[in-house]
């Protein structure tokens, strides 16, 4: 920037500053300016982990308190409050975009477009970029079991709930790989199997998406029992891969899962680690 440049701060907030104080001090006046015809911008800039997402209010984490909305939520509320207060004899029209910059492409997350189509377009970009032949997917929100051709290049086999769109898993591959697939088997909306015939052996792939820690114990027990049963039904000569999210965190060293991680662990362990026998055998 040059050594002759001088910059000053209009406001400095410490760690105890609330979301409300930050908004009222630095942003609220900008909303009023926008109604006077000025173009206004709020830009959060900083290193990773500095609090940009939290301050702007786009984190949407499960543990985030609902009484601590960020700048975007407060600004939208203020815009409509002021519009309602000034609506006598005035007509307001609002346009909204929620843009994401991903892989050097700008995507409008609010655009009227089939959500599944948007998801698969993003996935196909990833497959091409990393040259992936088999990709396990979770929470794809497809009902029942079936397959769908994508862009005449890829195929998606999926398994979801029979009655409504919830959870759902799938496995995606190029069409040339599909020629090696025997008919996939749906176990439920969290587990499916696919067997591949290769030049040297048969390959059995299990795709799964485990319940989170917040689920009831009987739900978690049922999932891992079903997964264990599915692995036992696979012919012994087959090479077996388990793909997906088992919701396990295993610590480093050999204390928790010696047959699985050896000395290479995450340094963390969660309560789901006692199910480690599923993957260690």
Question: Which positions make up the binding site?
Answer: 46-53
Cα–Cα distance list, 190 to 31, 58, 250 (Å) = 46, 28, 22
CA distance 144 to 43: 44
Signed CA dihedral, 131, 133, 134, 135: sign only: positive
The two tokens of residue 219 are 């739900």
Q: Cα angle at 17 between 16 and 23, to 5 degrees?
A: 165
Report the half-sphere exposure of 133 (CA within 13 A, side-chain side): 8
Q: Is 145 helix (H, G, I), strand (E, B) or coil?
A: strand
3-state secondary structure at position 130 = helix
Give, in order, the Cα–Cα distances in Å from 255 to each of 216, 249, 261: 26, 13, 10
Nearest to 251 by CA among 241, 243, 240, 262: 262
Q: How many CB atoms lie within 10 A of CB 186?
A: 17
3-state helix, strand, coil in the chain (%, to 5): 30, 20, 50
- In this structure, the strands spanning 154-159 and 145-150 are antiparallel
Residues contributing to the annotated binding site for ATP: 46-53
Q: Rounded CA gap, 49 and 61, in Å?
A: 15
């Amino acid at each position: 920037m040059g050594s002759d440049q001088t910059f000053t701060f209009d406001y400095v907030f410490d760690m105890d500053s609330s979301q409300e104080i930050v908004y009222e001090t630095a942003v609220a006046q900008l909303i009023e300016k926008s109604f006077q015809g000025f173009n206004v911008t709020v830009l959060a800039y900083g290193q990773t982990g500095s609090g940009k997402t939290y301050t702007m209010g786009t984190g949407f984490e499960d543990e985030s308190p609902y009484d601590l909305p960020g700048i975007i939520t407060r600004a939208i509320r203020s815009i409509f409050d002021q519009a309602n207060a000034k609506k006598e004899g005035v007509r307001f029209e609002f346009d909204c975009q929620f843009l994401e910059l991903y892989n050097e492409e700008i995507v409008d997350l609010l655009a009227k477009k089939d959500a599944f189509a948007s998801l698969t377009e993003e996935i196909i970009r990833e497959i091409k970029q990393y040259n992936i032949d088999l990709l396990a997917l979770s929470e794809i929100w497809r009902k029942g079991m079936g397959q769908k051709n994508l862009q005449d290049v890829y195929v998606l086999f999926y398994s979801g709930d029979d009655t409504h769109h919830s959870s759902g898993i799938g496995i995606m591959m190029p069409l040339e790989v599909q020629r090696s697939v025997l008919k996939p088997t749906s176990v439920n909306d969290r587990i499916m199997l696919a067997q591949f015939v290769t030049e040297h052996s048969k390959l059995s792939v299990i795709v799964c998406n485990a319940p989170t820690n917040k689920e009831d114990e009987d739900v978690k027990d049922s999932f891992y029992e079903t997964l264990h049963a599915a692995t036992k039904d696979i012919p012994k000569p087959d090479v077996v891969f388990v793909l997906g999210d088992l919701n396990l965190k295993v610590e480093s060293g050999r204390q928790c899962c010696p047959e699985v991680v050896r000395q290479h662990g995450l340094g963390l362990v969660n309560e789901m680690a006692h199910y480690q026998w599923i993957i260690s055998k």
